[in-house]
Amino acid sequence: MTCNNCNNCNNCNKCNILLLAVILLLSTAAAAANVQLQSKPSPTTQLALDWLEQGKLSGTVILQRKTLKGLKPDGFRIERTPQQTAILSPTDAGLLYGAAHLLRLQAQGLTADTLLTENPEHDLRLLNHWDNLDGTVERGYAGKSIFWPTYDKPHLLEYARRNAAVGINGVVLNNVNASPRMLTTEILNQAKTYADLLRPYGIRVYLAVNFSSPAVLDGLKTSDPLDKQVQQWWQKKARQIYQLIPDFGGFLVKANSEGQPGPMDFGRTHADGANMLARALRPYGGIVMWRAFVYSPSDPDRAKQAYIEFQPLDGQFLDNVIIQIKNGPIDFQPREPFSPLFGAMPKTPQMAELQITQEYLGHANHICFLAPMWEEFLADIKHYAHYTQQLAASRLRAIAGVANVGTDPNFCGNLMAQSNWYAFGRLAWNSSLSSEKIAREWVAQTFGTSPRLSALVTLMCQSREAVVNYMMPLGLHHIFAEGHHYGPQPWQNNPGQRADWQCVYYHRADTQGVGFDRTQATGSAATAQYPAAFGNLVENINTCPDKYLLWFHHASWTHRCQTGRPLWDELCYRYQTGLQQARHMLQTWNALQPSLPAADFLDIQQRLQTQVRDAEWWKDACLLYFQTFSRQPLPDFVEPPIHTLDELKAIRLGISNYENPSRQLLNSKR
């Protein structure tokens, strides 16, 4: 554990004295808003003091570094008496989080309990930036990279503040599709600049690395992890990094996935690759986050492949390796069951990877609050995969979110999307928080506490289900347009390409029914990878929740859903409901105009209008297409389609220009 004062010692004498000075100074004198400090506190405690002062927190607040039983390093205790409020924490970062907590309460018109203790559930709460060195952001909808090729200091510091305010304490600075150039001296020096700027906010930097770096950067004959020279190359690189960045967090690796190099290129395993990097980082306390997002065709069902590749490696990873797993077994769909890998590797630390950026949820055009999706996932892995117990016993407790941040002045492409960044941080701290509580907190801090704004909280909490309904209800998945993943293309079926890159592979519609049979009885047996309680539940079509029906079953068009409706009617009902929910969101927003800043109101209003048109598009495209298989009329409750299937099939959106002329059709007939 490094000391918080200099970040590179183990509580040396020098640092102990410094810490003592800060404690005395803060505990005897530091009423946040009105006390003159006689000597400098640490940069982190100074930030806490600044926040409290700027937040005009009423009364006297004392910050005190203190080790208390039951407090984790980043945890804090708040003790409130009529005279003063004390924030106590073993670390400066904990004091900062405590200050943020007080401000969060104040923004909601609340005061702290007389005694409250907060500990983070995950020690490492990380953002993953999919930022490329040329400034583009993979799946980014909020402008360019905030790191590459250059940065704007005020924007970066505000980004840091927002992270720290929700407890995010680590950032991976670059895309998992990593350029080997990331490890050049020039780029590492730039990473050092970011590490220095982010450090006061309690944020460490991490890098995504390309497994072929030794060969590509320095001409080694191989990047085989069992090769001595390769091992030495990584050791030397680690030494160089830690000389520049003493508190460097570690590496994130996407290996043997979607064309990225990895140990399997040399006949080695993921464990061989991860352990080689882990050995290089270990002397400095660094970790390796090794992604399990792999889908080599080891099985005809893509949903099974990561489990097949990783589960047998349980117990083979060194203790500074953690396996990073996307929440679902496919790829950040609007709704997926949890990945069966969770809980299936009891001897290996695991971390969840959530996607904050809305790759599959309407980019920055659709308003979709993601906390309900994450709440559902977290509840499921707690219930079925014993996540809480596993976390408690784990050597490394971490969680990551793929960032939705860019150079846009509002960071996230639109103001409402900031709520997802906020929600990720809050859930990383405490995964038991409800979506509703998080939404309430965010609304209060963003727009104030007018009682009318409770309608916005409701809108947010319902928005994810609306998106699922108009895009992919009942367990449908991956029927997006290829490439940019915006808009429907359930008919996509490119001859000669990988089967599992085609939409028809996922929905398997035919005249009998629709859905992917993943049962043991008749299908791919993906259900067998799950803990029995979940596997049995979804194996049986009569007990499988409707929300996962077509994920696990090829259900007949006449199958009676749990609502009592036959499948075709239910599908129609969901798409129609999704459209109505999108319209309702727009109406709710319109009614909130007096309570909202004008520019934000108009910007989100326009996006909601687009969202309604897109919901019509999804409904028409999917129902007309699936109707060619069900051969049944649209029930009366479904609005007649605005567009024909042929017209909708003709829409071709560019990968980077999805607002191109072919989209005009969606407006033209309204």
For binding to ligand GCV (CB under 6 A), which residues are involved?
130, 138-139, 175-177, 254, 258, 293, 331
Minimum separation from the CB atom of position 358 to ligand GCV (A): 12
Residue nearer to ligand GCV on the CB measure, 61 or 361:
361
Residue 210 DSSP class:
-
CA 558 to centroid of chain Cα atoms = 37
Q: How many CB atoms lie within 10 A of CB 511?
A: 10
Contact 548, 538 (CB under 8 A): yes
Minimum separation from the CB atom of position 648 to ligand GCV (A): 23
Minimum separation from the CB atom of position 485 to ligand GCV (A): 7
Structure tokens that stand for 354 in this block:
């959530």
Structure tokens that stand for 29 in this block:
């004198």
Minimum separation from the CB atom of position 139 to ligand GCV (A): 5
User: Coil, strand, or helix at residue 511?
Assistant: coil
Minimum separation from the CB atom of position 483 to ligand GCV (A): 9
Residue nearer to ligand GCV on the CB measure, 293 or 374:
293
Burial state string for 339-360 with b = 16 or more CB within 10 A and e = fewer than 16: bbbbbbbeebbbbbbbbbbbbb
d(CA 229, CA 226): 9
Residue nearer to ligand GCV on the CB measure, 177 or 462:
177
Helix (H) or strand (E) holding 400: strand 398-402
Contact 579, 470 (CB under 8 A): yes
The one catalytic residue in 53, 123, 314, 331 is 331
The partner residues of 162 in beta bridges, in order of sequence, read none
Residue nearer to ligand GCV on the CB measure, 174 or 580:
174
Minimum separation from the CB atom of position 331 to ligand GCV (A): 5
Tokens 């897109």 sit on residue? 614
Q: φ and ψ at 538, to 5 degrees?
A: -85, -20
Residue nearer to ligand GCV on the CB measure, 130 or 342:
130
353 is catalytic: no
From residue 623, how far is each of 261, 392, 550, 570, 616 by CA, in Å?
40, 46, 15, 11, 10
Minimum separation from the CB atom of position 18 to ligand GCV (A): 42
Q: Is the bond preceding 149 in cis, omega lying within 30 degrees of 0?
A: yes
Q: Between β-strands 513-514 and 398-402, what pairing exists: parallel, antiparallel or unpaired?
A: unpaired
Minimum separation from the CB atom of position 363 to ligand GCV (A): 12
Cβ-defined contacts of 447-454 (< 8 Å, 24+):
447/595, 447/596, 447/597, 448/595, 449/107, 449/108, 449/109, 450/595, 452/592, 452/594, 452/595, 453/592, 453/595
Minimum separation from the CB atom of position 257 to ligand GCV (A): 6
The one catalytic residue in 74, 118, 272, 359 is 359
138 is catalytic: no
Residue nearer to ligand GCV on the CB measure, 209 or 579:
209
258 is catalytic: yes
d(CA 396, CA 274): 15
Residue nearer to ligand GCV on the CB measure, 78 or 503:
503
Minimum separation from the CB atom of position 30 to ligand GCV (A): 44
Contacts of 665 (CB under 8 A, 6+ apart): 643, 647, 648, 650, 651
Give the 3-state DSSP-derived string for 104-143, with helices as H, strands as E and coil as C.
HHHHCCCCCCCEEEECCCCCEEEEECCECCCCCECCCCCC
Tokens 């989100």 sit on residue? 604
The one catalytic residue in 152, 218, 258, 659 is 258
Helix (H) or strand (E) holding 171: strand 170-172
Contacts of 221 (CB under 8 A, 6+ apart): 215, 229
Reference 220, options 210, 231, 209; nearest CA is 231
Query: Which residues have a catalytic role annotated?
Result: 258, 331, 359
